[in-house]
Amino acid sequence: MYYIVTGAAGFIGSNLVKALNERGEHNIIAVDNLTSADKFKNLVDCDIADFLDKTEFRKKIQEGFFDGLVKAVLHQGACSDTMETDGRYMMDNNYQYTLELFNYCQLEEIPFLYASSASVYGGGSTFIENREFESPLNVYAYSKFLFDQILRRRWQKRSAQVVALRYFNVYGPREQHKGRMASVAFHFFNQYRACGQVKLFEGCEGYGNGGQLRDFVSIEDVVKVNMYFLDNPDKSGIYNLGTGQAQSFNDVAVATINTLRAAEGKPVLSLAELQKQGIISYIPFPDALRGKYQSFTQADISALRATGYNDAFLNVEQGVRRYVEQLNKG
């Protein structure tokens, strides 16, 4: 029996493959599109049974090639570029692909864990898994939102576990291929290493410089929650996956810089001291993001907790420090 991980060479997917390996699972079908070839590096230290291109995989699913051979599907494959303007591509890659796999898993009675997104909440300030709070701002968010609606429509007829995980701002190892879509922790690390400074956006929508708030969640916690649901196939639902506590971009910058300063034998500095010394500075908020930007996100994780998941989440100071220490080792 095989685990299938889509988006397996990507950020979250490759971390899930590695986590399965650490649990002794090596019968893994890794599915991805390696048009961006550098993503292969994420799988170099992983053990898999086979790799399939996404297009070939979709064909094999339709032909019944995997019937009776699959233990669970962890579907992370998607276009995650929130600035993508090709709606047809986005809807095929994110919505239609997910729908095909959902239908297959229901037919074969296979657990299906898939990546939804906190972007479905748009510019709202309430982050609870209810339709009334969902208002996507771009086609990426809409593609995620639409499948969640399909799931709700078919909820009473499901025949196997289905878990939608609405990822908030995930950061951590194996995201280097994402370019501008990588986490701010990754970008701050590279900025500081390159020039000893970090630049953040100026304030917007009533928030001060660097004061916009997001729910930053470590990939370590994302993996743990996915494994929890694999271990509990009786639990299904749509769940927020964040820490439940928003922190500022300034917090991420301070944690990143001070971790690197400690590695250099330099003293820890406060935000005010970093600003005064010009180590943290601010640039104008991009016009292209106005009206499409979430200035505040904070997961309500009550539904996740109600399933029995009780582990504590890493906060920015803990998680970013661990991540930056790993990045700094090269």
Token output for 198: 């970090």
Token output for 37: 């070839």
Who's near 197: CB < 8 A, 6+ residues apart? Answer: 191, 278, 279, 280, 281
Q: List residues with catalytic annotation.
A: 140, 178
CA dist 316 → 54, 108, 298 (Å)? 34, 40, 13
Token output for 285: 């908020």
- Determine phi and psi for 77, rounding to 5 degrees: -70, 120
Place of tokens 């893994």: 28
Handedness of CA 273, 279, 284, 289 (dihedral sign): negative
Residue 113 to residue 237: CA distance in whole angstroms: 10
Strands (E), 2-157: 2-6, 28-32, 50-53, 70-75, 112-117
